[in-house]
Amino acid sequence: MKFVKSHPYVLLPFLLAATLLILHSCEMDHGLQPLPSIRGHAFIKGIRPEVAGELIVVVAPDFPPKKWTDIIRTPPLDISGDFSKVKADTVEWELPLAPGTYDVAAILWKKHGEDWSFESVSNLLGVYTEPNLFKPKPIELPTNLDYVDSIDIKADFALIRYGAFIKGVITVEGDFRDDTAMLILAAFPMKPETVIDYLFAMGWDLSIPIKEVSYPLHYTLDVAEGYIKYIALFWKGEKGGPYDFKKIGEYMLQDDPPPWPGAPKPEGIWVSEGDTLVDKFRDSKGKITSTVGNFEIIADFDRTY
């Protein structure tokens, strides 16, 4: 496969997540005059898993955010309703903001029993956009309006990736680039060959630190239960468009044997909920000769040019 260095649709599910890189809530000074606001609905589709605790809406003036304190978030959304059915439920939300342009609004989720920590942004459920736009839709909040409404965001509980884990280490080949803006680690059930393949990511993480960190760097990636075939690391520089990501490291897993005689051979290694992925190397008779449970991704920053 020849990797496409820059494509507006490639990596869609987790490039949108990249807009929320290492989020931090922002304390706002309302002053003497109340701020205007944006308001809308969260159309939340799918069956709510037991692990899903709170949902919030987050907004940023830049895409991707230039600094963490630019990120503003709502209080937790009211998701006390019945989310046990497939059709979408509707939740209203509102967020006071200073007048201006905001490049992205999105919905995030967190697990029950955990505090909000924006050190990992694999918890994206939906982004404010429009059909066939394939990127966040900017929001204009003029100075002469008290509010802008109809900022409706579609979210889907089916996007939740959790339950299993991949552990490993990232090492650097050559010099680390000082103009690195973000790194994305993602796992797939196949080696992506088309735009659609990227939509089937089993898990992704944008929490890979890029400042004041020494390599090798150990990681733990949350993924959904299922077959894992391919792990890759993607790089974005401080310059370039928001979708200008490049692959700089990868790991290809072996394939499990057929689950029973005559069954099709699966692609990748199965990992069950609660387990950590282990790659298995077999001889010609199918006997396991060695295993790998610590997946090394070699980051070659020369591939970013």
Residue pLDDT, tens place only, 31-85: 457 899 999 999 988 778 878 888 999 998 876 666 666 789 999 998 776 655 5
Kindly state whether residue 7 falls inside one of the protein's structural domains.
no
Tell me how far apart the alpha carbons of residues 223 and 203 are, in angstroms, rounded to a whole number.
Answer: 4
What is residue 75's predicted lDDT score, i.e. its pLDDT? 93
Residues 229 and 92 in one domain: no
Structure token pair of residue 207: 């929490």
What is residue 80's predicted lDDT score, i.e. its pLDDT? 73
**What value does the mean pLDDT take over residues 194-203?**
80
Dump pLDDT digits (tens) for 224-242: 889 999 999 999 888 877 6
Reported as type and span, the H/E element at residue 12 is: helix 12-18
- Give the closest residue to 123 by CA, choosing from 208, 25, 14, 199: 14
Q: For the CA atoms of the chain, what is the radius of gyration? A: 21
Q: Is pLDDT at 3 greater than 80 in this prediction?
A: no
CA torsion 28→30→34→38, rounded to 10°?
Answer: -10
Residues 142 and 16 in one domain: yes
Residue type, 135: K
DSSP code of 218?
A: E
What is residue 96's predicted lDDT score, i.e. its pLDDT? 95
**Of the candidates 159, 187, 213, which is a domain's last residue?**
159
Dump pLDDT digits (tens) for 246-296: 899 999 999 998 888 888 888 999 999 889 999 888 888 778 888 888 999
Kindly state whether residue 1 falls inside one of the protein's structural domains.
no
Structure token pair of residue 280: 């298995």
Residues 155 and 206 in one domain: no
Phi, psi of 171, rounded to the nearest 5 degrees = -115, 155
Instruction: Let me know if 101 is exposed, middle or buried by CB neighbors in 10 A (0-12, 13-18, 19+).
Output: exposed
Work out the number of other CB atoms within 10 angstroms of the CB of residue 138: 13
Q: Is pLDDT at 30 greater than 50 in this prediction?
A: no
Reported as type and span, the H/E element at residue 73 is: strand 72-73
Residues 19 and 134 in one domain: yes
Phi, psi of 126, rounded to the nearest 5 degrees = -175, 160
Are residues 73 and 57 in contact, defined by beta-carbon separation less than 8 angstroms? yes
Tell me how far apart the alpha carbons of residues 181 and 238 are, in angstroms, rounded to a whole number.
Answer: 5
Are residues 229 and 252 in contact, defined by beta-carbon separation less than 8 angstroms? yes
Domain of residue 142, residue span: 12-159
- Give the closest residue to 217 by CA, choosing from 96, 125, 298, 129: 298
What is residue 101's predicted lDDT score, i.e. its pLDDT? 96
Are residues 230 and 179 in contact, defined by beta-carbon separation less than 8 angstroms? no
Q: Is pLDDT at 98 greater than 70 in this prediction?
A: yes
Kindly state whether residue 6 falls inside one of the protein's structural domains.
no
**Of the candidates 139, 159, 179, which is a domain's last residue?**
159
Residues 32 and 109 in one domain: yes
Q: What is the pTM of this model?
A: 0.62
Residues 262 and 140 in one domain: no
Residues 44 and 125 in one domain: yes
Interior angle at CA 204, CA 193 and CA 258, nearest 5: 60
98-112, 120-134, 206-220, 235-249: range with lowest mean pLDDT:
120-134
